[in-house]
Amino acid sequence: MPGLVHVSTTINGNPTDFLCEPRQSLLEVLRDVLGMTGTKEGCNDGNCGACTVVLDGRIVTSCLVLGVEAQGKEVSTIEGVASPEGLHPVQLAFLENAALQCGICTPGFIVASKALLDREPDADEGRIRHWLAGNLCRCTGYDKIVRAVLDAEDKMKA
């Protein structure tokens, strides 16, 4: 077995150290090493978006990032979206608009949607559809997801 590598990173604002094999993806590290199973695996080849996290301000599919690449970087996952004060407006909007059915793609959609609204608080329907084209949902047909993101924009301004 290859040796383990020591990685120092920041996850959801908390300084975090972990050991991983060089061949382990960031997704594997989050789920299997750190027990953060909120980030989901749908394809393990970067095509479904269920494992979306934010790495130094950019959304990435964590299955295509190696764990060792997190060294010295900032990682944000679904576990960091809500605060002790309550759910994030994007999460509330998904709940109230019934924007999830099975829920497996939901963490990826919420991380990606929040990342969009953090930089473009007035994104229109077309922009939202374009931004979320990397996240697959098989249950909803996207209608209620797009409406939830539009609703989240209103909630974030209120």
Partner 1 sequence: MTSNIVLSEVEYNVVGKRHVRPDGVDKVTGRAQYGADVQLAGLLQAKVLRSPHAHARIKSLDTSAAERHPGVYAVVTAADLPFASLTREELGGDYQRLKFASNHVLATDKTLFKGHPVAAVAADSLHVAEEALNLIKVEYEVLPPAMTVKQAMKPNASLLHDDLFTSELGEMSDKPSNVASHMAFEAGDVEQGFQQADVVLEREYETASVHQGYIEPHNSTAFWNADGQLNIWCSTQGPFVVRTNVADILRHPVSKVKVTPMEIGGGFGGKITAYLEPIAALLSRKSGRPVKLLMTRTEVFEASGPAPGTWMKVKLGASRDGRITAADIFLAFEAGAYPGSPVMQGAACALACYDVPNARINGYDVVVNKPKTAAYRAPGSPQAAFAVESVIDEICEQLNVDPLEFRLRNASREGVRRVEGPVFRRIGLVECLEAARNHDHYSAPLEGPYRGRGVAAGFWFNRGFQSAVNISVNPDGTVNLIEGSVDIGGSRASIAQQAAETLGIAYEDVKPTVVDTDSIGYTMVTGGSRTTFATGWAAIEAAEDVKTQMVERAAQIWDASVDDVEYVDGVLSHKSDPELRMTFRELARQLLGTGGGITGASNVDPAGEGNGFGVHVVDVEVDPDTGKVTILRYTAVQDAGKAIHPSYVEGQMQGGVVQGIGWALNEEYFFSDQGQMMNSSFLDYRMPTALDLPMIDTVIVEVANPGHPYGVRGVGEVPIVPPLPAIASAISHAIGARINRLPANPGAVLEAMS
- By beta-carbon proximity to partner 1, the closer residue of 4 and 72 is 4
Least distance from C-beta 152 to partner 1, angstroms? 11
Least distance from C-beta 75 to partner 1, angstroms? 14
Q: If binding means CB under 8 A, how many residues of this protein chain bind partner 1? A: 58
Cα 71 to chain centroid distance, Å, stands at 19
Distance of CA 66 to CAs 6, 7, 30, 86, Å? 13, 11, 11, 32
Cα 105 to chain centroid distance, Å, stands at 10
The answer to whether 110 and 49 are in contact (CB under 8 A) is no
- The pattern of x and - marking residues 41 through 80 that bind partner 1 according to CB under 8 A reads xxxxx-xx-x--------------------------xxx-
- By beta-carbon proximity to partner 1, the closer residue of 63 and 70 is 63
Tokens in use for 71? 């060294």
Residues 98, 118, 120, 124: which binds partner 1 (CB under 8 A)?
A: 98
CA distance 120 to 130: 13
Any idea what the Cα angle at residue 16 is, between residues 10 and 22, rounded to 5°?
95
For partner 1, the binding residues (CB under 8 A) are 1, 21, 23, 31, 35-45, 47-48, 50, 77-79, 81-82, 87, 91, 94-98, 100-107, 110, 128-130, 132-147
